[in-house]
A and B are shown apart, each in its own frame.
Chain A
């Protein structure tokens, strides 16, 4: 009978879902190494009560922010990437004409060099980290509740920014709302700005995007607030 090997961590959920008679499941039941792996995995998917000293809510919030930053940075990188396929086809069509070849070769060098300079200049900021220094510009100020229940949102201004837009996200990182851009580093969040199905008091994440024309100059860190 073929000997069943021990499992890798990446296989353990599948093995646990097998019936008791399956040879791989039987191996798991009889192997201390695989049983320990399975116990550890069960502890991962069903963590039980929060242990003393763990700050689970704070961790969830900060991890949400870190994931949001990473995803947004990925999106910006993707948006700034040139569409090489279409560009190449276009260039090939033109450069294929023998009479124009020297001209277009020179032009393409200029275009590529220009694109490289633009790409370098528009390269997104280095990857955000959970802890460490943040630039002071666009730093979020504490959210203040107004007498009418609405929230005043404020942040540090950014040199060169023409306007600012506040974006709001659910803790699942789904975007909930965008406020209309404002020219000063503050705005007021009213109940009407949020979807009708969103309960008052729901925890939301918010950030500010500094704008100039149609360009996004910079993103603020992510803050947290309770929906008015």
Chain B
């Protein structure tokens, strides 16, 4: 005989979520093997799942790839929760996991990869100045050069494109760029200035090339 009588449910649904991330992390770490610890972990990750997905989506612009990445990030976070020391904020820690996953999977930091800046339209020698910077001076020298010659918006756009791997349209959104050409124009301007600065320095220090 079929028995469909429901077991009375404990009245836990709809409970408010007053706990901070840190409270939930503490609970999940202190009692990882218990239902309470697992519940804390699941609530913590549920808070971030949409944010992780959207952040990944804005880097790959593909639902399935973003979903795979987000799952990878969230499950890695769950598995690594026991080792999370709590010295950093949970949001930062999760962000670091997401950023590492996205950057390591889809690109390596490469200052030459600025194809959407339309290199061919820029004046100057055939050699890409960014190549020279990468080869000869490294990131710290490049930072100094960028600080010296580019305005803050150009600095941010260049770094978001080359280091954070953001698509140009996303940089336009993040920076709230008012130019008609959006971040593309800002990046072109940054690149032009950088090229000119490198050429000037090469002329002043011929041995430096």
Name A's B-contacting residues (CB within 8 A).
8-14, 30-33, 35-37, 39-41, 43-45, 47-48, 50-51, 53-56, 58-60, 62-64, 66-68, 70-71, 74-75, 78, 130-131, 168, 170-184, 187-190, 192-199, 202
Contact = CB atoms under 8 A, between A and B. Distances in A.
Given A54-B53, A176-B9, A178-B7, 7 more contacts: A13-B89, A14-B88, A32-B156, A54-B54, A67-B74, A67-B75, A179-B7
Contact of B143 (A33, A43, A66, A130): A33
Contacts of B49: 59-60, 63-64, 67
A37 B91 contact: no
B87 to A, nearest CB: 9
B94 to A, nearest CB: 8
B112 interface: no
B7 A195 contact: no
29 contacts: A9-B100, A11-B88, A13-B88, A32-B143, A32-B147, A35-B156, A35-B159, A36-B160, A39-B156, A39-B175, A41-B91, A45-B51, A45-B95, A47-B51, A47-B54, A51-B61, A53-B63, A63-B71, A63-B74, A64-B46, A71-B78, A171-B46, A172-B42, A173-B42, A175-B12, A188-B4, A193-B6, A194-B9, A195-B11
B109 to A, nearest CB: 11
Given A35-B155, A37-B164, A41-B92, A184 B71 contact: no
B96 A9 contact: yes
Interface in B17-65: 17, 33, 35, 38-39, 41-43, 45-46, 49-55, 57-58, 61, 63-64
A43 B42 contact: no
A222 B160 CA distance: 38
Contacts of A47: 50-51, 54-55, 58
Given A66-B71, A67-B46, A44 B93 contact: no
B32 to A, nearest CB: 8
B13 A198 contact: yes
Q: Which of B9, B61, B64, B166 has the most CB of A within 10 A?
A: B9
Contacts of A10: 88, 92-93, 95-96
Contacts of B123: none
Given A47-B55, A180-B6, A195-B13, A172 B46 contact: yes
A196 B11 contact: yes
B98 interface: yes
B95 A32 contact: no
A179 B46 CA distance: 24
B187 interface: no
A187 B158 contact: no
Contacts of B55: 43-44, 47
B164 to A, nearest CB: 5
Interface in B152-209: 152, 155-156, 158-160, 163-164, 166, 173-175
Given A12-B95, A40-B160, A59-B53, A177 B2 contact: no
A53 B88 CA distance: 33
A48 B79 CA distance: 28
B98 A68 contact: no
A144 B33 CA distance: 36
B1 to A, nearest CB: 8
B127 interface: no
Contacts of B79: 70
Contacts of A184: 2
A32 B39 CA distance: 40
A8 B96 CA distance: 8
A33 B43 CA distance: 33
